[in-house]
Every structure is written in C-alpha cells, then in structure tokens.
Structure 1
C-alpha cells in the first residue's frame, strides 16, 4: 500500500491529470473494464484512454486476449478473474489450474498482473469450489515462478454481518477458511463495496449524504472510530470480520465500487459524479480502522447496454462507447 502522503499526491494528480509527475509505484485508484456493451472501443484504444487519464490499475473479468495484448508493456497493474464457470474444473484438477496459468498468465509476460480473483461474488453451492481453486491457482503460479502474483476471490458485502463496523463478522461459512488462506499467503481480500446498493435497499435508515460522502459530520460513532461515510463503514466491517476469523493481518483491496448514473432510485449523473469524485478524493486516507491508502477500483469504465439484470446495471460507466465522458470527473 502507498503511504498516505503519496496517496494524497496521487489524488491530486488524478484531479490535475498530471500523473506523469508522480513517482512510479504509487497506486491507489483503478477502473474495472467491462465489455458487455455495443460499439465499445478496441482494447488498444481503451488502454490508451486509461493512460491518457492517468489510470494505472485495471480489473478484467476473464482472460481477454485482446485486452491482455494491449496491456502488455503498459505498466497498468491488473486484476484478472478466473470466471465463475471455470471454478469447478480448476478446483478439482491441479493440471487444469496449471493450464489456465500457462495460457492466460505466463503467455502474457508483459502484463503487470497484481491479483488473480478466483471467482466474483460466487454464491450457493459453488462457494465450495472457491478455496480449492484458489489453492490450485496459487500452486500453479508458484510452480511457474510467479508467486508475486497474489491469489484471492472477490466478495460482496452480503458475506458479512454486524453493526456497528466493530461488530462485523462473516455470515457465510466458507469465508473463514478463505480468510485463513489469504493470511497464510499474504494476499488481500478483494471486496466489492457499494454504498449505493446499501442505500437503495434501506432508504428509511440510511441518509443519502452518508452514502455519497457528503455528510457534514459524524453519522455513526463506534467506540473511538467516527464514521462520516458509508464506504468506510462497509470496508471496516470487512476488516472486523477478518479479525474475527483470525485473519487480522489480511488487507482489503476494493475490487469494485461505483454509482449508477441512470436507471433507478437515486441513479443520476449528479449522484454518480459526486460519489465517484469523492471516492477518488477519499481512498488515499483509508478508513477509521485502517488509515492509509486503499487500492480501489471504480466500476466501470464504460456503460454496458448488454448487461443483464436491473436497468441500473447498464449505467455504471464513466465513459460512453465513443470515449466521451458520461459526466465530468476530475482524474
């Protein structure tokens, strides 16, 4: 993790668009590259757009060879997912894991892989495959001499329970062993953190300003920790859950966070701009429980008109397919 001062410089650079002036190695804000849209730019143009905006971290949700080729030599740090539909075969067969690593990681030696996310928000009976698949991918990376690439899984806030944040614990039984494994390997937990969904699901009790980082003062006092925004409370609930699972040394990377600009309750360009700009400005300082920069990935680079589910799911993008901004945001 970058030190707080460096992260503040990064936030300033993102605001001014002068990332080149910042020392290399400072990394805090990334953007997820979704591809479920019509007329999206080529992968090469997307990488150029990231670079032109000073965005030096990207998450991709499957081994997209076009994206990986475009990323080669770019120095953009990458989270790459093992798709959920591959978990069963990789969990049951170390050779399948070795083949996946060979074809999708070793074959792209010019890509700056940071983490492999073994599954994204896996639910139901498939959760039993997460840890065996993580172990097999981790072993495959180590056997390939790529042990610096950390293996994790991406989870959403529903795997935790408890309020206030200091009372956080894992509500899902598969999470304790995963947390222990992450502690043993030194990998972070990848957490998808969405104050938007918490807010729209409980508008009677959650003020929108608390969700948008615009509350004028403390909203939740939790012992010595004062919470002025819901993002910090959600992240610190994860930290408490890790501690309660005996994995208190595990860090958190926020692998998704964002706000929709259309399609549902409180989904507007003003709210999306407010949330994402404040997120960029905020993550350099960390949370009340864990000060220091939080590596955070905004979801997503583009609006995705082919995304299934609620209408809001199509409107999380920062950019339109023609690379014009959905709303003005200062990188």
Structure 2
C-alpha cells in the first residue's frame, strides 16, 4: 500500500510542549491519523492542525519533514511520526554527517514538537529505495539524535504486511524475500527499545483472499471467534495480522520488540468492497478497538495505531482506490461520519 491517529485527550497525560518533547509514554492506547499531501486543494497546514485538535486527534504521521506542517505543529502537543523520504535513505546510510544534518534541519530547528518516532523510509523497496540502506540509516539517525541529546525519539522503519508470511498468526515469519534485511532490523530494534512500524491492511488481505476471508472478519463485525490458533481466538483480521508481525519478530530473535500500526484504513470507493459504509464501519471499529485497550490475543494491553488517511488525495495512484482512503475531503467536510 502506497502511503503518505485519534484517542481522546484523557487517554493519556498531556505534556506542555516547551521545547523538543521526546517523551515516550508506555502502556497507552493511542490512535492517530496519517497526514498525506498528494491532493489538490488541501487545507493549509495550520488549518489541518486545527482539524486534528477540534476532532481530538492526538497523533499525526507525516511522510516527509514538511516545514509548513512542522511549524504549524509547534506547541500543539500532537504526537508525531516523521518519515525520512525513501529517496533520502542512501545519503543518510552512507554518511553520518548527512544524518546529523537531517536531525539539525528537521528536528532541532523546530521547537515545541512532540516527536515520538522517526521512520527511516516507508515500505522501502516496494515504494522505492534500497532495503539495504534502512539499517545503516537508522543507526546513523540514532547516533545523531543521541549526540543532540534527543535519544528519547525512537528510530524505526515502516514496513508493509507483505514482509510477513504464515498462517495462523503463531506461524508468522518474515517472508523469504524480506528476511535478509528484516531480521537484522528487528534485532537492532531490540537493542534500542524502538517498535517496528507496520502498515496493516485487512482490506488488502480480504480483497486478495475473498474465498477464504469473510468480509465481517475484516470489518470487525464478526459475531464470534473466526480463527482459533492454539489457545488464541481471533474475532477480527486486524488482530491476526498484528500478531503475525509479533510471531515474525519472535522468529527473528526479537520478541521484545513492540509493533506500532503506522497505517491502517479502508477505501470508500474505487475498488472491490470499497464503499463509504465499509470504510466508515472499518475505521470506526478500529478506533473503538484501540480505545478499549485490550490489545491482541498474543499481546494484550494497549496498542498504538494510525488511520490512513486524513484526506482523500486525488494525485495518488496508480490504483483508483489509492485516492479514496481519506476520512475528510479537501474542503474539510467528512467523507463519512466518524467519531474519535
């Protein structure tokens, strides 16, 4: 999935942004929204931040260090994931001074931000870039942040669910095409305490396997257990996909690494089962699922996730559905009713 979050404020303590905040709350269920800008007529960054605040959306992911967005976010206390663009990974991987400059320009130069994670690329390989650059770029970014006194900001990378294989979830491993780079990344994350950022889309699993997957399982609307995996029972596909990641991490010797869902959503038109009703059902149920704070069968407790995406983006593609993942239209009207 090409890619460019929304608990109420009471879900966790609010820290006043008096500088570069890098606190990492633990055991917090948190849901934010990804802010992509591949569309015409989108609101200004300051208007977007106001939309997040008025809708009580407390987390944002941006897909490159957009100076306008970073300026608008100052003092907002919105928890932030900043992506390093895939095309920038090579220079950060090969030159520690480039990583230092990236941190100076995109982190230190912007005061009053609540940066939680930096993602060294998004679905690298599938969406451009060389997977061999991910780990050295992460290492150089960590070194640059530590040197700047910002070691509380965690560095990871955002990966597609296609990097995993295996069913049921307990049989999850990194796929043969991804294991060579994902296992070292997972093991490195175990040393830094950062989570793996995972893009999790029951929609695509359903569309690709309609004979095996009931749409209610994908939409969180199954009335009871659908998949039994040893002593674990799965009532929705989202939990199964997340737990497949946890099993893959365990198989790579990195069972201590957490998973943050860096994207999840459902298109409202443009493809199979892409309707406003299905999109509203999935995203509202996802928000409810995160707020309840039960976690997954394999990892009970709080979970953190980011809905994709804030706006319908008409310049995305090539598939038509890519344009229709937005919770809102460019004119700021809701694409369908949603409550955070």
TM-score range, shorter chain: over 0.9
Contact 1:27 1:56 in 2 (8 A): no
Q: Tell me, which stretches of 5 or more residues in structure 1 are unaligned?
A: 1-9, 14-18
Name the CA distance, whole Å, in 2 between partners of 1:130 and 1:230.
28
Contact 2:11 2:29 in 1 (8 A): no
2:331 to 305, 322, 326: 322
1:286-312 alpha-carbon deviations (Å, 9 max, x no partner): 100001121100000000001122000
Aligned to 1:105, the other structure's residue is in SS state helix
RMSD: 1.4
Alignment of 1:278 onto 2:285: yes
2:137 to 127, 133, 138: 133
Alignment of 1:36 onto 2:45: no
1:58 to 21, 46, 60: 60
Runs of 4+ in 1 over 3 A off after TM superposition: 19-23
1:253-301 alpha-carbon deviations (Å, 9 max, x no partner): 0000000000000000000000000000002221000011211000000
Other-structure match for 1:152: 156
Contact 2:132 2:181 in 1 (8 A): yes
Other-structure match for 1:212: 219
- Change in Cα spacing, 1:147 to 1:21, as seen in structure 2 (3 Å) is closer
Name the CA distance, whole Å, in 2 between partners of 1:21 and 1:290.
19
Aligned to 2:157, the other structure's residue is in SS state strand
| Cα deviation, residue 27, structure 1 | 5.3
Other-structure match for 1:238: 245
| Cα deviation, residue 20, structure 1 | 6.0
Number of aligned residues? 316
Alignment of 1:188-267 (within 5 A): 188-267=195-274
2:308 to 299, 307, 320: 299
Q: Tell me, which stretches of 5 or more residues in structure 2 are unaligned?
A: 1-5, 15-24
1:173-228 alpha-carbon deviations (Å, 9 max, x no partner): 21000000000000000000000011111111111001000111111100000001
| Cα deviation, residue 21, structure 1 | 8.8
Aligned to 1:232, the other structure's residue is in SS state helix
Aligned to 1:309, the other structure's residue is in SS state coil
Other-structure match for 1:67: 69
Contact 2:308 2:326 in 1 (8 A): yes
Aligned to 2:109, the other structure's residue is in SS state helix
Aligned to 2:312, the other structure's residue is in SS state coil
Aligned to 2:89, the other structure's residue is in SS state helix
Name the CA distance, whole Å, in 2 between partners of 1:23 and 1:144.
26
Name the CA distance, whole Å, in 2 between partners of 1:45 and 1:157.
32
The structure with the largest helix share of the pair is 1
| Cα deviation, residue 87, structure 1 | 0.7
1:123-154 alpha-carbon deviations (Å, 9 max, x no partner): 17710110010101111101110000000000
